[in-house]
Structure 1
């Protein structure tokens, strides 16, 4: 049986560097997906679930540090940052923000591959099948990306799962409209809030005993939404 190739996402705006990275990773058995800007990179990370992300800090549409922050709001995928800056303060700031490693340009492919293998080993040691979040009758397995309601596996669309995943990783906390819009659609304009309301309504129809009187996925008026760890005894709207 063939071992599935590991998937790496390259978020880098310089075509020459992307080609260099692609060649190096593919030679070593990785499957590679490319993104030339932050918006495309976040979409690819959401929909394709890479095993590793290589993230350039100098992107044309959003600072790489902000991309890292958004990734870390819902994912623990290993992230290696690329930068022309080598100051200690910068490295410490990004490592504290959730980067797994930091490589300064210019760099050799052998060094990057060694760091990638080390990051993947650490991740695999920590990623166990116990990464399950419980919310009332819901069970959300963040590793296998499966959801059970009263021990019955549910069928969710990608966006429905993404919404539930974000709320589950912030269990009991309010997640703002702007954050949800940015993380699910890569937009934060309030003109698009109807997209979010429609998605919430569809998800409630699947997880709530009474979608018109939600007790798990509740609205925080004018702010956002909250997923409770247990069924609330008072109406959520």
Structure 2
């Protein structure tokens, strides 16, 4: 999912060596952002539950812990263009810690993946599409949270699923991503039902909880320093 927030149109270069080191991210203004390596405690993401809105019920992560899974996709989905798949499943293949919480305004998923992720924000993903089975999602970049010391990204997703008889169901999700240290990624996804009569969670919730999550999982290391 470094000293400034990067939009989805930026990229982190990866060294081509056999045991790659993550290169410093390129500054869109022409400079280079400083990448900070910190100790990450993924299990500390549990503490973020204290920042949930009142009345939310927390449960363990179930099934696919990638943003694509929270958007309604199972195995077999594909991104158009293909490089944007790195945003739909930024922690692919890595161990995960996290939780899901449901309440009147929607469902919140907080995930820390790593070690072993590839920190890359691909180019050409300001607007893209994800397809799989009966579901199609349109994804658009939004303003990324500004978290000191790490690159971030954010996106808004509208997923449409065609069910029996041709009826369509829709859901909306806001996802925020941060890369706190090489090999780790944090995602917070907030899923809402556009047709619900209940007040939805605002688009700022994902970013706010992402800041809390990155603070918590790196806080022990900072305190020790």
Give TM-score scaled by structure 1 length.
Answer: 0.24
Give TM-score scaled by structure 2 length.
Answer: 0.25
Relative contact order (C-alpha < 8 Å, sep 6+): which is higher?
Answer: 2
More helix by share: 1
Highest Rg: 1 or 2?
1
More strand by share: 2
